[in-house]
Every structure is written in C-alpha cells, then in structure tokens.
Structure 1
Amino acid sequence: MTSPSTERIPLSDALRRTAVVAVLRADSPRHVGSVARTLAEAGVVCLELTLTTPGALDALESLRKDLGDAVDVGMGSVRSAEEARRSLDAGAGFLVSPGFQADVVALALAAGVPVCPGGLTPTELASAWDAGASAVKLFPASTVGPAHLAAFRGPYPEVAVMPTGGIAIDDIPAWIRAGAQAVGLGGPLIRDALSGGDLTDLAGRARRALEAVAGARS
C-alpha cells in the first residue's frame, strides 16, 4: 500500500478530459515538432515522447519551449531511476514506464509529477498502483484485449488503467467501456507522420480518436 504520508499525484486535467495519449516513438526526432503541433491543434494535447527515440530529451525541452501550456508532454520508456531523473530535469510533465520500477515511481512522487508504470497481470498492476502510481499502464494491451481489463476491474475498481500497445482507433470504444481511464496510441494513430507522412491525415486520425472516446462515454 502507499505510505499514509504519500499523496498520489493525479493525472492531468487534460488527460482525464481527452483520455488519449499520443505515443511518439521514432528513429529520428526530426519531425517530432510538426507532429506535436498537428496533434495539439486537432485536440490531442497529451503527448508521450520515448527515450528510445534518439535526442528525445532535447526534443522534450524544445516542445516545452515551443508549445508551452498547449500540450501536456511527458517521457515514456523510462526504465530506471537515472532515466527518470534525466526526464524530469528536461521538463517531463509525466513519466511512463513499460514495467514497474519502484524507484521510478518514488522519484515521480517526490517531484509531484504523475507516473504511469506498466504491468499486465493483476499482481503487476495492483503492485504498481499500491506503490503510488497515478495510473497503471496495461501493456502490451493488444495481447489481452478489453475483456482482460474488465475482469481486472471487478476486484480492483479503484485502479486507474491506461491500456497501451497495439490499440487501433476503432478499438477505443471497447477499452473505454471496459473501464479504461485513458488509452495510449502509438503506431495506429501516428503511422508514418514521424517519418514525414501526411499531417492532414494525422489530424484526421487524431479527431477520430477523440470522437471515439466521446462516443463511448456518452
């Protein structure tokens, strides 16, 4: 369980409102800025860069300067305390991990920054939540499906879960109805935009994702 003296850091208002995190993972940071602006203009304002992208920390600092409060930008693929420190120093507004590392969660809590560690099994998800996670990242979500989340939430209704990994835009309603707090969208949303693909098409997919959330919530 979380310590009585530890207050869980809530997810941002923007994430709770839109329920979509765009995961920006690329071989180069060259198009990150234009992709981020396109997503923000379309209404997807929660962006997760990843440490697997070369120059991700510099790109994060640039986005913070260029877009300011227009986006909630964080760092993903954070796998160690050192990576967490570097991400926080670069201005990450939240941290996301593929698995659960207690020291990463502790650092985020100390910094007052939301943190979403990953897990797949009920034990992994519950352990991450009890450590103080803002939400737990169900990963890789496409390997289990919405029924896995719905079954988990039976005994754990209080746990905020963000499925991520292989989720298509058409899958969003099923995940929201199964109890997802938000969804992380990578390839199915971004497609080739980070390698110079059509940004108009990206904007259209972003709007479809938000409409899918709104439809599932109504």
Structure 2
Amino acid sequence: MNTFLRPLSGRRRTAPSEALLRTGVVAVLRADSPDHLMPAAGALVDAGLVCLELTLTTPGALEALERMRGEFGDAADIGVGSVRSAVEARRSVDAGADFLVSPGFAADVVDEGLRAGVPVYPGGFTPTELAAAWDAGATAVKLFPASTPGPAYLKAFTDPFPDVRVMPTGGIGIDDVGPWIRAGALAVGLGGALSGDALHGGDLTALAQRARRALDAAAGARA
C-alpha cells in the first residue's frame, strides 16, 4: 500500500497539488503590511512560481488571499502559513486557502486540513516531531528551520523514514534549492531570499528573476 495515501481515522491523507509537484518551490510571503502582496504575487505567478504561502503574521493576510483568489483563479496555488490553531485553520479554509502550513506540529490543525480535504504541512525539527506530524496525517512535513541542519540532515532522516515527504523551509537561499531537492525534498519553501525588497515596494523585476532562478534550480536538480 502507498503509505502516502494511507487511510487515517476514516479519512485519506491529502495529496500535494499538481503545482507543488511540478515546480518544487513555495514562495513564503511574510510582510509588515498587505500593501505590496498583490504586486509581488503577480510578479511571481507571471514568472511561473505559482505556489504562494501568505502568512497569518501579515496583517490582512486572509483578505489578501480572497483578493488573490479573484485575481488569479486557478492559475495559482495559494495557501496560508503560520497557522497555529484549529480556529485559524478553519478561517483560512473559509477564505479560500488551497493548503495550510504550520511552524510546528499541532494535531488539530492537521485534523482541520484532513476534514477540509486540503494539503497540510505541519512543521517539525527533530525526527520524533517530523514522524509524529506525518503519522497524524500530514501531506508532507515542513523541516523548520531548515538552514540550521542543512540538506545532509534530510538524507539522514529519510533513510529510516523513506515514506515521509519533507518540505524544508526557513533560511534557505536560492542557491540552496538544488542541494535540498537532490537530498530528497518534495519542495522547498523560500522566504526572504526570494522576496528581497519586493514586499516593501521594491524591485519586482528582480523578484521575477529570482523566482525563475529558483524554479530552474529545482528543475535541474530533479533532472
């Protein structure tokens, strides 16, 4: 049996989106205000980086999500990050989130994702935390912060846990995308190294160039 789709308490583990499987990169958009989210998101989607994570630490993130749903439709896979409770998970799904991401493992957030039928990516750092999140029904587990252990840690983890899908996030640079994918990552979450100054009204052309570099790195590592 494919453990990735193993039935869990009468429900099925939700599969990652086609967009995530195809691109291997998630743009984590964390800002002090929502003012520049839409222009940055547009530049990313135009560049082909269509998996976007809006974090709840950004004021007005859910309202921005609803606007993006209307602007991009099915062209973008837009999720909500920094989800730490079942209430936040439900609000995010109601606003149109395509997936949920947590900084740590909260079983009730995973349960909400399973109930809603959306992919859910809870965070963890130690093998015990990552395995517990997976066994609870996560679509994949978010290794966070990934910059601390590096890609070799992922290889060491997946040797005894070959069925667990992992998405490293936190402190990853664009030049690190390839090594993480080659180490076995399902996808890589990119934050500040990707967004640069774009979420503060900065250079959207440079943002698009970084996005294309990241996508090329992921594709090259898979090839």
Report the TM-score, using the length of structure 2 for normalisation: 0.96
Matched with 2:136 is 131
Q: Deviations over 1:92-115 (max 9, x none)?
A: 000000000000000110100000
- Pick closer, same or farther for the CA change 1:139–1:2 going to 2, 3 Å: farther
Matched with 2:70 is 65
Matched with 1:143 is 148
| Aligned match for 1:10, one of 15, 19, 33 | 15
Q: Please state how far the C-alpha of 1:2 moved relative to its aligned partner.
A: 6.2
One-letter code aligned to 2:11: T
Tell me, which stretches of 5 or more residues in structure 1 are unaligned? none
Q: How does 1:1-218 map to 2 (within 5 A)?
A: 3=8, 5-218=10-223
Tell me, in whole angstroms, the C-alpha distance in 2 between the residues paired with 1:3 and 1:172: 32
Q: Please state how far the C-alpha of 1:214 moved relative to its aligned partner.
A: 1.0
Q: SS of the counterpart of 1:161?
A: coil
Kindly tell me the number of residue pairs found equivalent between the two proteins. 218
Report the TM-score, using the length of structure 1 for normalisation: 0.98
Identity %: 70
Tell me, in whole angstroms, the C-alpha distance in 2 between the residues paired with 1:159 and 1:16: 15
Tell me, in whole angstroms, the C-alpha distance in 1 between the residues paired with 2:177 and 2:51: 16
Tell me, in whole angstroms, the C-alpha distance in 2 between the residues paired with 1:93 and 1:4: 22
Q: Please state how far the C-alpha of 1:3 moved relative to its aligned partner.
A: 2.7
Q: SS of the counterpart of 1:163?
A: coil
One-letter code aligned to 2:194: L
Tell me, which stretches of 5 or more residues in structure 2 are unaligned? 1-5
